[in-house]
Structure 1
Amino acid sequence: MEIANRHRHALSKNQKWTLASTSSGFMLENMDVLFLSFAMSSMIADLHLSGPAAGLISSITNVGMLFGGIIFGILGDKIGRVKTFSHTVIIFAVATACMAFTNNLYLIYGLRFLAGVGAGGEYGVGISLIAEAFPKNEIGKLTSIAAVGGQIGAIFAAIIAAWIIPTAGWHMLFLVGIVPVVLTIFVRKHLHESQQFLNAKSAEKDSLLTTVVRKMFATPRLAWQSLGLMIMMIVQIAGYFGLMNWLPTIVQKQLNLNVANSSLWMIATIVGMSIGMMTFGSIFDHFGPRRAFSIFLIGSAIMVYTLSLATDMITLLLIGAIVGFFSNGMFGGYGAVISCLYPTEIRSSANNIIVNVGRAIGGFSSVIIGMLMDHYNLTVVMGFLSSLYIISLLIMVSLPGLKEIANKQTN
């Protein structure tokens, strides 16, 4: 009853701005990052790029995310969430916009690295803002709402790319990337640091780097908790990249679909992802992370394999939406779990380190899937992805911290 009454109460001004700015930040970040995917074929033709040279652009972006995650995660815990959030948005926006003015491959590599630095730094800082602005028993739902913003960004990227590239070319598409800078004006004007963060700063005794190492890796239990969450995040990102990078090509071959129909499949999958995020957040808040992750990891393992059985367009769209529901519905839950398991003084660092290690390593799943496709049939490829979710499930149930979160929520 108490929880129900709390939901009926209006959000405070700071809570509204926190949720709006974080969701918008994730939306604009994902939009800017996905501009590269939609512009890649045009860039290859225009700049006469080889396959490895073009693929390295994406890989460098992921490496930048890892560096940015570590650097800005620590800065977020050191100088404040709001200021750091603004810096990350400016970096990825300006670096993306500068792509509009270059045809030099090495300069493109440098700009994509910088864009990755900004994008990688934003996640942990944004999640920390949410975790410190809302009650703990609502974090699952609210981090999932913010994560849905990223899916909206993917849809915007597709629409804007389809409109701009045919008429103005890929350079002009990247120029749109400057738009997120406007967000920083509102963030710096309306958001302020939480009292929870200010209290943690005033009580700080050791150096931040020492505190991060001590709170994340000092004991075998903490080290396994951090490593286990990294592995789960690697699986999460590997599944996402497998879905969004390879499955459109796979289903085109399987059902002889054209590009328009495969795009329709992607839209259905993204809609399923968004609904899954909201559902996961509610289950997380009411029943705890272990039950929420168990349902979605088992569902992902089953439905990814089932995707190989689709024989017509309607079945493909339905299964694609369900696969998206389970496989990416969990994404917002990682920020909620990390924010609950690690203390305020390292919350930003822990989120960014764990998530961006997952991004950097999990992003290479597209390479592994490509190798499997060259030597094996679709059943083996889908079986590989399904097995990853089972591994993640086994690791999840071995993490004692997740059980403690559930106990705190029910007490």
Structure 2
Amino acid sequence: MLTNKQKFWTLVLLCLGYFIDFYDLTIMSVSYPDVIRELFGITDMTQIQQTYLMISSFQTAGVFIGAITFGIIGDKFGRANAIKYSIFIYSLSTIAAIFTHSLPLFIVLRVIAYAGLATEFSTSTVLIVEMFSNKNAARGTALLYSVGVLGGMCAIFVGILSWKMMFICGGVGGLIIFIGRRFIKEPEIKAKISGDNARLISLVTNKQNVVNLLKLFLVLVPYFATITTMFIMPNYIVKTISVSDATKSLLIGFFIGNIISSLISSLFFKHKKLFLYVSLLVFIILSLMFNYVGEQYILLYFIGVGLIGGGYPIVQAQLNAHLFDPSVRNTANNVVYALGRLSSIGFNALITTWIIKPEVFLTYSKIMFVIVFVVAVVAIKLIRAKPVV
């Protein structure tokens, strides 16, 4: 049985790992023009954006590969083992990426890095749900996401120094967390079950499991639609300030909204669906009005947009824990989140064609927002959660 002290330090180490996850997601968003310009000699801004979207798509593929791999490892050999070695892989590949000027090799290293980060949120959420009572698990996941958001904010300020320093800090920080995670113990519930192959295979052969995976994935799609498209929105808002400055305001506002949403989500623990519905309502209203926002309100606007990015995936992950057996729970949680991130490849492909003509992005993105909103609402309506075990 885990002591309260062991649970506390496990939570701290999980939060620090997600801090690194969010940190790395942000350093590419903040520094990609400098990274691509310095490493590969690309200077045209449109080509830089297209190269970034291509790298982002490959990174997302890495997330999918890592989520499946470490999800299975977590169910077969323990959540602690999965969360321990995944960040070690991330750290080594992130540091190595600094020293290459080959775009294909850089992409390979980023795929490996994101495969390592893929399991941070999903496996951490499973560990928290299995270690704590329902009430404390809600608070723990809110804390996990909030600390992750702080990692993103940290990346913005570290980026003032240089993108290389950002990569080094992420890699070294990951190695330190890897050392600390050697002392993480498995929760009691995992010690009592074994993730045998038959049970894991049932995740894709059992009709109810497949349906639950699909519903949870569709619930997540608006979140990934938001974080994929929001970086294009400043192009329709700014008049006198640079897009670069607007992007920093975007990220700060989005992260503040994330923290607010994370804290609110823990207060709605008994009303998960209500929280998701309210979040989606905020999402659709703000998504349809981005081109009407004055640049002086850009920070406030993205605080609002950030409300879809904090508590929303937290509550979705908690629903996941209520829908799947402990023997496949970690794999299921990772698969759902990986599918969500994989949807970013589709969004990136669409955006790459839409941004060529500003009016095309303006029209088609709003149609996309309406579609994913309707689909998510229907999916939430169809979810039938059961008590967690």
Q: How does the TM-score come out when normalised to structure 2?
A: 0.89
Could you tell me which runs of 5 or more consecutive residues in structure 2 were left unpaired when the two chains were aligned: none
Task: Name the residue aligned to 1:301.
Answer: 284
Aligned-pair CA distance for 1:325: 1.4
2:227 counterpart of 1:236 = no
2:202 is matched with which residue?
214
Distance 1:116 1:174 in 2: 13
1:377 and 1:63 mapped to 2: Cα distance?
Answer: 24
Unpaired segments ≥5 residues, structure 1 = 1-10
**Structure 1 residue 392: deviation in Å?**
0.7
CA 1:146–1:77: 2 relative to 1, 3 Å = same
Following superposition, the deviation at residue 216 of structure 1 comes to 5.3
- SS of 1:239's equivalent? helix
Matched, 1:20 2:12: yes
**3-state SS of paired residue (2:159):** helix
The Cα offsets for residues 258-286 of structure 1, whole Å up to 9 and x where unpaired, read as: 23244223312210121112212321x13
CA positional deviation for 1:380: 5.1
CA contact (8 A) 2:225 2:344 kept: yes
SS in 1 for 2:289: helix
Q: Map 1:150-299 to 2 at 5 A.
A: 150-163=148-161, 165=162, 170-176=163-169, 177-189=171-183, 191-201=184-194, 207-208=196-197, 210-215=198-203, 217-219=205-207, 221-243=208-230, 245-252=231-238, 255-258=239-242, 259-283=244-268, 285-287=269-271, 289-299=272-282
Partner of 2:84: 86
C-alpha contact 1:277 1:331 (8 A) present in aligned 2: no
Structure-2 change in CA distance of 1:23 and 1:107 (3 Å): same
Amino acid at match of 1:276: S
Residue 327 (structure 1) shift: 4.7
Distance in 2 separating the partners of 1:262 and 1:30: 16
The CA distance in 1 between the partners of 2:306 and 2:250, in whole Å, is 10
Tell me, yes or no, if the aligned pair for 1:303 and 1:323 is still in contact at 8 Å.
Answer: yes
* 1:349 aligned partner, one-letter code: T
Report which stretch shifted further, 171-180 or 268-277. Answer: 171-180
Question: Secondary structure at the residue paired with 2:160?
Answer: helix
How far apart, CA to CA, are the structure 2 residues paired with 1:33 and 1:269?
Answer: 13
Q: CA deviation at 1:70?
A: 0.3
Mapped to 2, the partners of 1:63 and 1:377 lie a distance apart of: 24
- The answer to whether residue 376 in structure 2 is matched with residue 392 in structure 1 is yes
Count how many residue pairs are aligned between Structure 1 and Structure 2. Answer: 377
Aligned to 1:65: 63
Kindly provide the CA deviation profile for residues 178-201 of structure 1, in whole angstroms up to 9, marking residues without a partner as x. Answer: 221101222212x21111100012
1:113 shift after superposition: 1.1
Whole-angstrom CA distance in 2 between matches of 1:38 and 1:321:
18
Match of 2:348 among 366, 380, 383: 366
Check whether the contact 2:62–2:113 (CA below 8 A) recurs between aligned residues: yes
Give the superposed CA RMSD.
2.4
CA contact (8 A) 1:297 1:390 kept: no
Is the contact between residue 71 and residue 331 of structure 2 (CA under 8 Å) also seen in structure 1?
yes
- In the TM superposition, what is the alpha-carbon distance from 1:157 to its structure 2 partner? 1.1
Q: Corresponding residue for 2:109?
A: 111
Distance 2:177 2:295 in 1: 43
Deviations along 1:199-236, one digit per CA (max 9) or x if unpaired, are 012xx6xx33x3123245412x3322211112222332
Among 345, 365, 375, the residue aligned to 2:327:
345
Residue type of the partner of 1:126? Answer: S
CA apart distance, 1:342: 1.0
**Alpha-carbon separation, structure 2, partners of 1:139 and 1:338:** 13
User: Alpha carbons of 1:304 and 1:155: their partners in 2 closer, same or farther (altered >3 Å)?
Assistant: same
Q: How many percent of aligned residue pairs carry the same amino acid?
A: 19
